[in-house]
Homo-oligomer: A and B are copies of this chain.
């Protein structure tokens, strides 16, 4: 199987698509722009969900569920948000099919079943949620509201790519309501940290944290915090955003509360989300020309055991040992598969597990039976070692942490090697063309300059770092004064 994988060198974009499909993560469906997430892909997504959900709950958030549909009149209420999503909305206009009079085997839309008001399929749920919060909030005692929702959303994108940009995708969206501006801002910042922690500790994916420029901000937000990762082709990927929404939605939906002094105030809001796009980020951060490379913490199967045998008797002996290893590893909370399929050669199994990104492979053959050993291979480095049976469990357990850490270090080194500080626009263009990656440069703070740079180079401001380690300078494009360096890149 792996033989057919396009290499990154040949065609990065084709490599990605090949990999996603051949490793069984996802595929295109017969609905334009919508994907099928296959069991292997969904199992990784479930692991992401479980960890994020835990982190949200530990910080006081609760889950809830709001309708898939947003009536047009509500959708319109917050003007910036509405304009931002109007061009990519799926719209329900009818609620019944009838038998086609021209062909009784076919159905057609029943023209009598037209909705009085069109329903927008949520591209994001602020409108329906704030219209609901209005009834939940009277006094300061009703605040904060800290709610998250796991849901599907639809944005009618014209050019789609599996996981990275699909018409329907899965995500979580947090929507919180607060008494004060400061509290809301702190919430958005805290979520930014949770996202960064998740990316780095679980996905082994280093991220930059910072603010978005006005051009790149969420439609309806006053500030957008983001985490930005760097893919192996030198392009950036926005991996999660949390928005300080100010009082925009509270005003649009008239959500006020009585404070401790008895005064009526508008509520302060945040919203935040990560999506199945993280799957794309995960794949492009670590994988290689043999297939997926998964950080152990998100791998559905962490260890696979493959028997190598010439006859049934050998298989029996190996199976006993394999089952023993398996049960010992499972006791440590490690997920293990014993791959004793009889219609595949070991080599074919190895290739498949490499393609699917199983972090550790244990092979046991006749020699290992004699020597009381096993061959342990790690997917990240593609190296093998013979390990004594007595120390195997401990070795594998430690190796999982090593792989998790090594993947992070490797990705971090890649990012550091692709972070360039530039001070002229010539250099900017040269680096972008020859090397790609993140470019740290001074910017005058105007949308005009950002637009011009984008027009000429396709690079955008990925983030304005939270912690500006740089002093003042001159804009790399306009020469006007700049307060700090910002991070540019071409992006997914």
Contacts and interface: CB of A to CB of B under 8 A. Distances in A.
Interface of A: 29-31, 34-39, 41-43, 45-46, 62-72, 74-76, 79, 82, 86-99, 105-107, 109, 118-121, 128, 131-132, 141, 147, 151-152, 154, 156, 168, 170, 343
22 contacts: A29-B128, A30-B74, A30-B131, A31-B67, A31-B71, A34-B69, A36-B132, A39-B63, A42-B63, A68-B168, A69-B90, A72-B97, A86-B99, A87-B96, A87-B97, A89-B97, A91-B96, A92-B93, A93-B93, A93-B109, A141-B343, A152-B152
A192 to B, nearest CB: 23
A57 to B, nearest CB: 10
Nearest to A151: B152
A37 to B, nearest CB: 4
Contacts of A154: 68
Contacts of A105: 76, 79
Given A71-B30, A95-B156, A82 B107 contact: yes
B96 A94 contact: no
B91 A92 contact: yes
A52 to B, nearest CB: 14
A70 B67 CA distance: 19
Contact of A92 (B41, B121, B147): B121
Given A75-B107, A82-B107, A107-B82, A62 B42 contact: yes
B109 A91 contact: yes
B95 A89 contact: yes
Contacts of A65: 36-37, 42, 45, 170
A29 B39 CA distance: 33
Given A62-B42, A63-B43, A95-B90, A69 B107 contact: no
Nearest to A37: B65
Contacts of A45: 65
Given A29-B128, A156-B96, A168 B69 contact: yes
A147 B107 CA distance: 29
Contacts of A34: 67-69
Contacts of A89: 95-97
Contacts of A35: 67
Nearest to A131: B30
B64 A90 contact: no
Given A34-B68, A42-B62, 8 more contacts: A31-B67, A41-B64, A82-B107, A87-B96, A88-B95, A89-B95, A90-B95, A152-B152
Contacts of A43: 62-63
Contacts of A156: 95-96
A490 to B, nearest CB: 27
A66 B29 contact: yes
B94 A91 contact: yes
A450 B242 CA distance: 57
Nearest to A46: B63
Nearest to A166: B67
Contacts of A118: 109
A315 to B, nearest CB: 20
Contacts of A99: 86
Contacts of A29: 66-67, 128, 132
- Name, among A41, A82, A170, the residue most crowded by chain B CB atoms within 10 Å (CB to CB): A82
Contacts of A120: 97
A31 B70 contact: yes
A42 B64 contact: yes
A118 B29 CA distance: 16
B95 A93 contact: no
Given A29-B132, A121-B92, A38 B64 contact: yes
A483 to B, nearest CB: 36
A244 to B, nearest CB: 23
Contacts of A141: 343
A112 to B, nearest CB: 12
Contacts of A132: 29-30, 36
Nearest to A91: B94
Contacts of A70: 31
A118 B97 CA distance: 10
Contacts of A30: 71, 74, 128, 131-132
A134 to B, nearest CB: 10
A42 to B, nearest CB: 5
Given A76-B107, A94-B91, A105-B76, A64 B39 contact: yes
A35 B132 CA distance: 11
Nearest to A29: B67
A66 B128 contact: no
